[in-house]
Amino acid sequence: MTHQMHAYHMVNPSPWPLTGALSALLMTSGLIMWFHFNSLMLLILGLATNTLTMYQWWRDIIREGTFQGHHTPIVQKGLRYGMILFIISEVFFFAGFFWAFYHSSLAPTPELGGCWPPTGIYPLNPMEVPLLNTSVLLASGVSITWAHHSLLEGNRKQMLQALSITIMLGIYFTLLQMSEYFETSFTISDSVYGSTFFMATGFHGLHVIIGSTFLTICFFRQLKFHFTSNHHFGFEAAAWYWHFVDVVWLFLYVSIYWWGS
Q: Which is nearer to another protein, 16 or 97 (CB)?
A: 16
CB 160 within 8 A of CB 219: yes
Q: Which is nearer to another protein, 15 or 82 (CB)?
A: 15
Q: Residue 60: CB partners within 8 Å, gap ≥ 6?
A: 14, 16
Supply the minimum distance, in Å, between the C-beta of residue 167 and another protein: 16
In the complex with another protein, the residue whose CB is nearer, 52 or 210, is 52
3-state helix, strand, coil in the chain (%, to 5): 75, 0, 25
Shortest approach of another protein to residue 218 CB, angstroms? Answer: 13
With contact defined as beta carbons under 8 Å apart, do 208 and 174 qualify?
yes
Amino acid letter at 112?
L
Report, in Å, the least distance between residue 74 CB and another protein.
19
Please say whether the beta carbons of 65 and 71 come within 8 A: yes
DSSP string, 21-45: HHHHHHHHHHHHHHHHH---HHHHH
Q: Which is nearer to another protein, 12 or 119 (CB)?
A: 12
- Nearest approach, Cβ of 75 to another protein (angstroms)? 15
**Minimum gap (Å) between residue 84 Cβ and another protein:** 25
Residues binding another protein (CB under 8 A): 11-16, 18-19, 22-23, 25-26, 29-30, 32-33, 36-37, 39, 41-42, 45-46, 48-49, 52-53, 56, 60, 63-64, 66-69, 151, 153-157, 159, 222-229
Cβ–Cβ under 8 Å, residues 52 and 19? yes
3-class secondary structure, 113: coil
Considering the complex, state which of residue 51 and residue 109 has its C-beta at the smaller distance from another protein.
51
